[in-house]
């Protein structure tokens, strides 16, 4: 049985996924398998992926219905002691898997491992927050004012921390930049990067897998599972040598925006479940961040004319009503 299973969700990535699989074939650690769950490709994705079975064991499944159902199929089919959830637009350092296994096997109380998910400079514009970095830092007065609030208050003056959630519910972005490579050894964190997300399979089974309460594109299902693993009494570790290069494009998600109703509802549900507005300070920071997010989605509606971006307003109110006991979750 392989020590580690790499889980990859995909759809219609027949050509671009070659870079991902070439970097898997180059791993110095060889005791692994790859489990791919396809959302219903109509191109040559399956043929491309299965051609790599000469380098490592590959299994291929089809599951429609979204990312969380795909990942729940993948981890249940996985044979490894450790599972790694990554993306089909990621490229891995040759020692990636070796460094993940080394951390797990250094301490039996470590339940999850993550590492840098560096976004190359040419791909930074394909991630919402990173896309607007220059405006928030050097734009007009209004942009810089928003940046001041975001960095100094919402992110508590430490935006480049790694794998960390702030009291507002915002997450640190340091793992996306090469600056995180300055760390010399692995250390404890409170989150796992979405495309560099590793956990012990038995712990994922114990928490019931990835929670389908998270709607739409399933945002927050990965940190939700990481938080649950921590609540079992296990630690999460960031290894600066377990490096992934994430290469998102401006197609798909970035161009055709997913509806914002589920994105807002997911955030509110995650916050109340794991961070909680249980002090005045946290309540204020959460409220301001939630306002910030809704202003962003309204801005995206104005710039893209995609009406589904306004769904964040209803998602926000529904999420608050559900978590304050004023409405039942449907």
Alpha carbon distance 293, 261 (integer Å): 12
In the predicted structure, residue 34 carries a pLDDT above the cut 70:
yes
Average pLDDT of the residues in 95-106: 98
Average pLDDT of the residues in 19-36: 97
- 278 in the same domain as 130: no
Q: What is the pLDDT of residue 258?
A: 83
Q: Does residue 329 form part of some domain?
A: no
Q: Does residue 330 form part of some domain?
A: no
Domain boundary (154, 174, 204) is at 154
Q: Does residue 186 form part of some domain?
A: yes
Alpha carbon distance 236, 16 (integer Å): 31
- 29 in the same domain as 172: yes
Alpha carbon distance 296, 301 (integer Å): 9
4 or 131, which is more confident?
Answer: 4
Q: What is the pLDDT of residue 284?
A: 98
Q: Does residue 103 form part of some domain?
A: yes
Q: Which residues pair with 110 in a beta bridge?
A: 235
Domain boundary (222, 246, 270) is at 246
Alpha carbon distance 245, 250 (integer Å): 16
Instruction: Say whether 26 sits in a helix, a strand or coil.
Output: coil
Q: Which residues pair with 61 in a beta bridge?
A: 37
Q: What percent of the chain clears pLDDT 70, i.e. is strictly above it?
A: 96
Q: CATH number, domain at 68?
A: 3.90.550.10
Question: Tens digit of pLDDT for each residue in 271-314?
Answer: 999 999 999 999 999 999 999 999 999 998 998 889 999 999 99
Domain boundary (220, 246, 272) is at 246
- 61 in the same domain as 35: yes
Average per-residue pLDDT for the chain: 93
In the predicted structure, residue 107 carries a pLDDT above the cut 90:
yes
Q: What is the pLDDT of residue 216?
A: 87
Q: What is the pLDDT of residue 132?
A: 72
Q: Does residue 179 form part of some domain?
A: yes
Taking the CB of residue 197, how many other CB atoms lie within 10 A of it?
A: 26
Q: Does residue 167 form part of some domain?
A: yes
In the predicted structure, residue 176 carries a pLDDT above the cut 70:
yes
Q: Does residue 142 form part of some domain?
A: yes
- 114 in the same domain as 212: yes
Q: Does residue 147 form part of some domain?
A: yes
Q: What is the pLDDT of residue 122?
A: 84
In the predicted structure, residue 179 carries a pLDDT above the cut 90:
yes
Average pLDDT of the residues in 322-328: 90
- 282 in the same domain as 141: no
56: confidence class by pLDDT, cuts 50, 70, 90: very high
* Closest residue by Cα to residue 120 from 276, 252, 245, 249: 245
Name the residue range of residue 25's domain. Answer: 4-120+161-246
Question: Tens digit of pLDDT for each residue in 210-228?
Answer: 999 999 889 999 999 999 9
In the predicted structure, residue 198 carries a pLDDT above the cut 60:
yes
- 102 in the same domain as 38: yes
- Lowest mean pLDDT across 14-18, 211-215, 254-258: 254-258
Q: What is the pLDDT of residue 124?
A: 75
Average pLDDT of the residues in 83-103: 97
Q: What is the pLDDT of residue 294?
A: 96
In the predicted structure, residue 255 carries a pLDDT above the cut 70:
no
251: confidence class by pLDDT, cuts 50, 70, 90: low
In the predicted structure, residue 15 carries a pLDDT above the cut 90:
no
What is the total count of domains within the chain? 3
- 293 in the same domain as 189: no
In the predicted structure, residue 252 carries a pLDDT above the cut 60:
no
- Which residues, in sequence order, are CB contacts of 178 under 8 Å at separation 6+? 116, 118
Average pLDDT of the residues in 28-41: 96
- Which residues, in sequence order, are CB contacts of 273 under 8 Å at separation 6+? 224, 227
- 150 in the same domain as 50: no
Average pLDDT of the residues in 143-165: 93
- 165 in the same domain as 234: yes
72: confidence class by pLDDT, cuts 50, 70, 90: very high
252 neighbors 127 (Cβ within 8 angstroms): no
- 116 in the same domain as 46: yes
In the predicted structure, residue 191 carries a pLDDT above the cut 90:
yes
- 31 in the same domain as 145: no
- 111 in the same domain as 9: yes
Q: What is the pLDDT of residue 256?
A: 62
140 or 270, which is more confident?
Answer: 270
128: confidence class by pLDDT, cuts 50, 70, 90: confident
């Amino acid at each position: 049985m392989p020590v580690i299973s790499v889980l990859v969700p995909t759809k219609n990535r027949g050509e671009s996924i070659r870079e991902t699989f070439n970097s898997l074939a180059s791993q110095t650690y060889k005791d692994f398998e790859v489990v791919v769950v396809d959302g219903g490709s109509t191109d040559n994705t399956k043929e491309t992926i299965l051609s790599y079975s000469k380098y490592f064991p590959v299994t291929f499944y089809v599951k429609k219905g979204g990312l969380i159902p795909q990942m729940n199929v993948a981890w249940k089919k996985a044979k490894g002691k450790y599972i790694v959830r990554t993306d089909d637009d990621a490229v891995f350092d040759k020692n990636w898997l070796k460094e993940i296994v080394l951390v797990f096997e250094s301490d039996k109380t470590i339940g999850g491992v993550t590492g840098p998910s560096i976004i190359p400079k040419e791909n930074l514009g394909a991630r919402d927050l990173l896309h607007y970095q220059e405006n928030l830092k050097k734009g007009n007065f209004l942009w810089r004012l928003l940046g001041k609030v975001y960095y100094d208050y919402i992110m508590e003056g430490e935006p480049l921390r790694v794998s960390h959630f702030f009291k507002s519910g915002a997450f640190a972005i340091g793992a996306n930049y090469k600056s995180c490579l300055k760390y010399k050894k692995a250390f404890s964190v409170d989150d796992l990067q979405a495309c560099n997300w590793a956990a012990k399979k038995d712990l994922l089974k114990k928490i019931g897998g990835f929670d389908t309460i998270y709607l739409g594109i399933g945002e927050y299902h990965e940190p939700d599972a990481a938080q649950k693993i921590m609540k079992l009494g296990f630690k999460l570790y960031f290894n600066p040598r377990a490096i992934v290069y994430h290469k998102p494009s401006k197609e798909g998600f970035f161009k055709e925006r997913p509806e914002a109703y589920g994105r807002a509802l997911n955030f509110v549900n995650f916050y109340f479940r794991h961070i909680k507005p249980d002090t005045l300070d946290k309540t204020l920071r959460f409220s301001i961040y939630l306002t910030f997010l809704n202003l962003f989605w309204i801005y995206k509606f104005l710039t893209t004319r995609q009406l589904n971006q306004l769904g964040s307003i209803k998602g926000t109110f529904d999420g608050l009503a559900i978590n304050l006991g004023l409405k039942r979750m449907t």
